[in-house]
Structure 1
Amino acid sequence: MERIRWELPRSNRHPAAAGGLMLELEVADGQVCRADPIPGREHRGAEKLFESRDYRSLLALANRHDWLGSFTSELGLAQLLEAFLGIEVPERARWIRTLLAEYTRMAHHLLWLSSTLAELTGPASPQAMGPVRTGHLARRLVLDGIESYSGTRMHPMLVAIGGLRADYPDGWLHEVQRSLPPVLDAAAVLRETYLAEDLGLTGLAPLSRSAAWDYSTSGPVARASGVGFDLRLDRPDECYQALIDAGSLRRVESTAGDAQTRLLVLTEQLAVSADCVRQCTEVLAEFDDGEPVNVDLPRSIRLPEGHGYAETENPGGINGWYLVSRGGTHPYRVKLRTGSYNNAAAMAAALPGTTLEQLPAAVFSFLLLAGDVDK
């Protein structure tokens, strides 16, 4: 039995391979017998940074740890602050927020599916490069839409306490609608490729339903193991309830729990998010353009004393915010619950039995971002 430290090889082609993900392994004959994730290599003290900012400034930091689910992280913190302050967000702003949350989910899934396929096949498999390009081109259209609204592609910083910082520009809803057919095509092509290609994912790193519960996994990782909980469906707000009633938002889950299933769940969720975005554009088209997207706030914001928690269904898992206020302009304590942290911990149950050569593919399927793990 050999004990080694293994780091996911760095690559600029995959978001999980940006650096920082390390495992302590016990290996025998090239096979993993035990795996312990080692967090903290990219710890940046994010929670303490939040505690040193006033409440308006917090939102600019909220999209940094989960940089592929940036908008939904902003949204969760804003909803917590709004609950403290008793603010009612305008209905039109709530629908725009919902659209942007699902648009962000689409961008995340397209990048993850395309980049993972590229890493697993490489240039030696020309038949897989077509689907990879299809996915990246579809994501480019989604990012174009985000940039048209916010001026940036990765950290939109559109959420404000009480709504949004600005209204969307003229013609933006049509731009969003035009991006949806390529996204649906990419979802179908990527799903077909993952099913057809011999990628070695079937049966790889299986996570049982009980282990998924024990490690408090969430998002696609949990739903691929039979834990079907989805905040959008199980604790919906008015907008998500309307999407459920219209049949646009549907539960996606499976029970196999292996790497193949985790990635196939992403392809299905991609199509569901596209349906949700389409429905949101149709609802928003019925509003008058002049209807407000925010509320007036005082120059200085103070939260009443107390504590609260809010969470959102980020693309990679549940992102939670716990905040303690002592009545000032800064939070006394902010605690983050990130999807990547718990999903990374679950690898201890899933990786034994995996060979060293299979480890990158197994790790890719857990949707981990080092910054989201380490905060």
Structure 2
Amino acid sequence: MKVVLGVAGGIAAYKACSLLRLLSEAGHDVTVVPTASALHFVGEATWAALSGKPVHTDVWSDITEVPHVRIGQEADLVVVAPATADLLARAATGQADDLLTNVLLTARCPVVMAPAMHTEMYEHPATQANIATLSERGVHIVPPASGRLTGQDTGPGRLPEPAELFAVCERVLAQGSPGGEVPAGPAARGPLAGRRVVVTAGGTREPLDPVRYLGNRSSGKQGYAVAAVAAARGAEVVLVTTSGLPVPAGVRAVPVETALEMAAAVHAAGAEADVVVMAAAVADFRPAEVAAHKIKKTHAAAPGGTPDESAPVVALVRNPDILAGLVAARGASSSPLVVGFAAETGDEDGTVLEHGRAKLERKGCDVLVVNEVGPGKAFGTDVNTVHVLRRGSDGVLDVGPASKDAVAGAVWDVVGDLL
């Protein structure tokens, strides 16, 4: 396969050298197209030596070969790692001021981009808008990892490890068309290759009226990290989600909103799955009735009467226990392997871990990931602290405080051993 490796000007450019070697050793014909600023981090001679090809940054070199058109036209895959904030902005707005952005405009093959930059730059609304635009156009976005950046800084924005990026590239190449779903194929590699995985993410929303809903603080970040790591390790991944986060490369998203919708989607997708990971924060209750119109703050009064300002009473009914339902549905079978998540705070009746062990026994799942929640913990953050419990074992794997990507990796290590 002909692969174009685009390299933008960030400190993570050094990692692209290892990605280049992995792609080349897998038999791909790799052309490196760095930006001019990327050469400040890794020189032209290094790229040329590793790829065995001349390296250029502008459209004027070898002009008779029309490289700004030919390279993109002939590529089977374009991967940009790292994709800096500047490169993402130029790609999203269709600029063509160097060879790499020209290649991105002429390529009709799948495109993978791995954003990497400082946390503040990654989280800026402009960068997030550019990522969303590119994702909507079919670009496969590999979410950045969290960890040590340059200097003393830590946070989301770190380029994933070359092996994970290579696994994503192999999966996208296996699918062979731009954008859309990327099912596992014969070229998919990794410890989860050939496995079918269902992951849930986000907090369900139970409508009260056309405006309001009952929900929770879950952002879906941990579930998305679980899905992304599974895809990077070669699995075919379905993500049942209430969140609007960018869908990880190689993952098929099924959008839902309520607990009932999530239950239906999980049971449908999980019928042929090897693993189901319930990372979503599913509402235990929902309103017994949904008002057809917005519930008014003040109720109308009879002519001459006093307006009724009493608060409405909302009757609740219990939602189905999706996790317990999955365990019950498989009966005596050991498939699918079921992984639950439990958000716990600890109270006078027990610690986080004690509550987790009781829930593992009650639910009957194979693995329970108990995460500590509370002010500044877990929900909406990029860091998590979890205790991974296995059915039939008294042992516990403590992870964190660590990035949600690292937590996802630890969970899949445990699941991989069980598989």
Shorter-normalised TM range: under 0.3
Higher share of residues assigned helix: 1
Higher relative contact order, chain-length normalized (CA < 8 Å, sep 6+) = 1
